[in-house]
Structure 1
């Protein structure tokens, strides 16, 4: 049965003038290379917004259907359905020469790409549009950005969540309404280019088995070896390299493919070979033994200390389909992991501040100033690049902006901008950073893009010439000069409907505990910035151990390798102004202590040219964010450490870093032990 749309407006679709293919898939799990598509629906629209095609089918996956409690697709119901290879040509015809649209689009795109690859074909999609990413740009005043929440906000009736046919019909209504809002705001669509995905590297290589033991440090003179020691091998060996490596791993050693100051021993028969590993071993004072000595030491490897398995106390991950139902509200959760904790999106206790270590090999930032009493006055300059002093609860309460999680607040004399979201235009980078800091101190949210949530605009010198001013004037938004922040308006009580619950705003160095016991172990870190013309920005992630080193090159996630083989860390490309790193904490190797999030500029620009970088942390795609940070302390730097997810005992924490470096991405990766170009 086709249900008519409540608001079948086609103006937005006509404005952006694309042929569209709206897609939804239901799957047997979350890992595209392993799990399968169980049902599929496609609706096609022409440039006028008219439906030109519709197709829906169940599929026989040839495997267990997975979380039946979510999608309702039992093995009995799927029995007799076609396999994907029988419908691949029909689906290809619907997708070809159209922009693929989905909510959390990379999820659907990756699953379809793998299904097409299994059928021996390329996925014929050149561009995709994510309605989740588009709504992050529009920023409607909703509690979260799940498909069901947006459907209710835009007036689209949802009849059967997690039914592919109904979800696609709802997606059509959400797309029409969102494109209308984007047209009203004058937004460019966050379209993502999609190259063919059937190359050999499309299926990641199997991950090496993680070492179960902690690194005890360097090899003492004469031995012995201890389980957990980091071992690297370079040059020719009499024993086959694969056999030598296998024996080391079997003995409990941690075989590395690069050398750093944390390497316990380098095995080589020719230290003067000039290899990169040999040069770094000499430079860092790493112990060196030849192959014969190493084989003798392997005969008596001492027991090591196992990694603690406290992460096992964290509840098992929830199935994170692209629009999982939101948890029921409850009181603020305890942060002690407990399987009995009720789901809740209530915020954890106020963030605190801890020293943030510099990237390996980088110059440490200057120490933080001693704590001072909180003040509503703006700081004299941009936020420092180093760790901040621990804020008091009053100061933390002053640093909340207008977004979607936390507790609704009302303006006060000290914080008259509560409920407002302020876009600052123009000015030199340092001046703009100070203005945004002032907005935050007054209780407001600092915007970096024009969206539906922007309530005020502040122009600094040159801001009146910003290309967005014409649209701002057409929207009738109030425009102020810098003096408005020195003498803000008196607090005005706003209707509760216009003041959504807000996330914690993290200053540089601030830390917040993640309530994994309440909302699960899957976390999305979304990074966004203003539209750029001079450069592109790449977001990367590194899963590192207690020595700040990757366990292997596969723990470096970037645009060329967007997923760890075990699926624990994934890079999602959501458009030219944002990227998301999705982390499944429960899937990380026991030795992983931290996931480092960074950004690097591809081009001759610096972060002073780019401006502020915005960070949102949420428990899954579309969920209400727990915390946000605006990172704009960098000026001449081309690489920026954004944040760290790290484990402190049984608790996972998020730290906002915002530390910039003049070196490029290659040097950053090598500092964490990635073998970028070696023998």
Structure 2
């Protein structure tokens, strides 16, 4: 059996393909002795602390993994099974890098010095197989497969394949393609992320020195410690604390053994992640304790107040206003002036367009409108020119085909709602899509549960740049892990519940699939970021799976800022509810990420 080597045949199932961030869900090990006889075998499921990923491939759902141990709880036993043996796997680099990454998080290196990949061994043997898949090799050697993609069965199959392959290598005098397990080959890993189950206790506020911890307090961890972070997080969660992945203004306590920042605000160079959290704690005035101090505090955690589920109330939607069914375009004026007019249009039930479309029939021209590049085109369209103050139409000049010139002195206000005899009243009421709900800031609309997918269109005026972000969060706007941040470079959540599409210039589509939403996600926050110096309205349109418009809102950031929190999609029992927000963030993407608990 090859120079009296002993082997440990291993297979892992994982949440994804990146050992730096994805996690191991299942491990199976079978020992083979130097004479080919089987030794000890062992298999376990693992709690990954994150979404299990492609359940349709590995079959390991959240329900099946419930109650499974964390990797740090089993790493000592795994190391005992691997010690003094060659690690064998089908694509051994993949399995080894995942196990090495988990071992680094658990602060317990694995005693493996060599690995053998059965893919490489099959290529070296040049076996007459149609492919290098495990199924193909099993068929070649006559090994039966019972449960493909189950780590325990895959390991049994691979152990039998290995016996046949080693015998063939010995008969053909083929040198085994052994690879050293160089510590420098081990991947850089991100620290373990908090699984962020919904804490059942209400947030009681910050912690003060000399006081006990209270259930519901938000605690974050950073930097190396004597205990694996996953185990420390699990202890904190069992005690009733709300474990966070980042430090924000609501974090009660930061646990770290790193030294405090210097007087100049600099933190030690510790690899990035800890530096960010340590500086954030200094900025927010968050209390910081050592790991030993925190362990002592865990011995006496005061009872908290149970979190109250938000009541399921009817959506806050204003009844149709006097401008219902009409669509206005506002041009000219300052950003604040134009935003005020658009807000008034929405309050009265009208649609405030962000650009010229087939729906637009009314024009509000503020001072400077004639300097807008679209003005000549607007003049030729024959739109209803409206008074900026009253939104009532101005009288047309029969000799003109376009709207009147922009006014420089507003007319006396007149209540639009009472102008039932105006010649333009009702001329847009029957336009297609007039039944859609127009949402003002704070207004809501229910998304019917029978619709499997909703599409939210986000766009600014032509020529503008709008970058869309989405956060899968809890009721306190905190993400479970950084992987719940959906953006340009990670355009889909792992479960496909939220996905961004950029196929049309100046527009981004946010696909929402409520049926795929993880059970501990209570809110999807949709936000937008624009370049420095660019402002103006952003249009948000909600469509069902047939493409019908069900709700729409035109939002200007309040207060103005590069970042805009556009909308919340909130879980309300069996329903999901869309709410227009329009909150501005001066810091753009950084401010939005910090608000939702992202450490970047």
The two structures have a TM-score, normalised by structure 2, of: 0.52
The Cα shift of 1:478 comes to 0.9
Q: 1:237 maps to which residue?
A: 225
The Cα shift of 1:615 comes to 1.4
Q: 1:448 maps to which residue?
A: 354
- Asked if structure 1 preserves the Cα contact closer than 8 Å seen for 2:276 and 2:599, the reply is no
Q: Does 1:516 align with 2:448?
A: yes
Q: 1:408 maps to which residue?
A: none
Give the direction of change, closer, same or farther, for the CA distance of 1:465–1:622 in structure 2 (3 Å limit). farther
- Asked if structure 2 preserves the Cα contact closer than 8 Å seen for 1:429 and 1:635, the reply is no
The Cα shift of 1:642 comes to 1.7
- Asked if structure 1 preserves the Cα contact closer than 8 Å seen for 2:214 and 2:303, the reply is yes
Give the direction of change, closer, same or farther, for the CA distance of 1:245–1:450 in structure 2 (3 Å limit). same
Q: Does 1:542 align with 2:471?
A: yes
Give the direction of change, closer, same or farther, for the CA distance of 1:205–1:599 in structure 2 (3 Å limit). farther
Q: 1:24 maps to which residue?
A: none
Query: Which residues in structure 2 correspond to 1:105-120 (within 5 Å)?
Result: none
- Asked if structure 1 preserves the Cα contact closer than 8 Å seen for 2:214 and 2:302, the reply is yes
Give the direction of change, closer, same or farther, for the CA distance of 1:289–1:612 in structure 2 (3 Å limit). closer
- Asked if structure 1 preserves the Cα contact closer than 8 Å seen for 2:447 and 2:578, the reply is no
Q: 1:605 maps to which residue?
A: 533
Q: Does 1:265 align with 2:253?
A: yes
Instruction: Give a deviation string over 1:263-286, Cα, whole Å, max 9, x none.
Output: 343222244263443344355454
Q: Does 1:629 align with 2:553?
A: yes
- Asked if structure 2 preserves the Cα contact closer than 8 Å seen for 1:309 and 1:590, the reply is no
- Asked if structure 1 preserves the Cα contact closer than 8 Å seen for 2:438 and 2:552, the reply is yes
Q: SS of 2:320's equivalent?
A: helix
Q: 1:646 maps to which residue?
A: 570
Q: 2:482 maps to which residue?
A: 553
- Aligned CA RMSD, in angstroms, stands at 4.5
Q: 2:327 maps to which residue?
A: 421
Whichever of the two has the greater Rg, that structure is 2
Query: Which residues in structure 2 correspond to 1:5-44 (within 5 Å)?
Result: 34=54
Which residue of 364, 369, 381 corresponds with 1:477? 381
Q: 1:41 maps to which residue?
A: none
Q: How many residues align?
A: 378
Give the direction of change, closer, same or farther, for the CA distance of 1:309–1:219 in structure 2 (3 Å limit). same
Distance in 2 between residues matched to 1:606 and 1:634, nearest whole Å: 14
Instruction: Give a deviation string over 1:562-593, Cα, whole Å, max 9, x none.
Output: 22333333333243322233334454445444
The Cα shift of 1:665 comes to 1.8
Give the direction of change, closer, same or farther, for the CA distance of 1:253–1:583 in structure 2 (3 Å limit). farther
Q: SS of 1:486's equivalent?
A: coil
The Cα shift of 1:289 comes to 3.5
Q: 2:423 maps to which residue?
A: 490
- Asked if structure 1 preserves the Cα contact closer than 8 Å seen for 2:437 and 2:445, the reply is no
The Cα shift of 1:527 comes to 1.6
The Cα shift of 1:674 comes to 1.3
- Asked if structure 2 preserves the Cα contact closer than 8 Å seen for 1:213 and 1:591, the reply is no
Q: 2:196 maps to which residue?
A: 210
Give the direction of change, closer, same or farther, for the CA distance of 1:287–1:622 in structure 2 (3 Å limit). same
| Stretches of structure 1 lacking an aligned partner (at least 5 in a row) | 1-30, 37-60, 64-118, 120-203, 312-334, 337-348, 353-392, 399-414
Distance in 2 between residues matched to 1:310 and 1:636, nearest whole Å: 30
Instruction: Give a deviation string over 1:451-482, Cα, whole Å, max 9, x none.
Output: 22233444444434544455556xx6314544
The two structures have a TM-score, normalised by structure 1, of: 0.46
Give the direction of change, closer, same or farther, for the CA distance of 1:497–1:288 in structure 2 (3 Å limit). closer
Distance in 2 between residues matched to 1:516 and 1:305, nearest whole Å: 33
Q: SS of 2:466's equivalent?
A: strand
Give the direction of change, closer, same or farther, for the CA distance of 1:247–1:582 in structure 2 (3 Å limit). same
Distance in 1 between residues matched to 2:334 and 2:423, nearest whole Å: 28
The Cα shift of 1:627 comes to 1.9
Q: 2:437 maps to which residue?
A: 504
| Stretches of structure 2 lacking an aligned partner (at least 5 in a row) | 1-50, 60-130, 132-189, 262-266, 268-274, 395-421
- Asked if structure 1 preserves the Cα contact closer than 8 Å seen for 2:472 and 2:479, the reply is yes
Which residue of 606, 615, 626 corresponds with 2:540? 615
- Asked if structure 2 preserves the Cα contact closer than 8 Å seen for 1:210 and 1:589, the reply is no
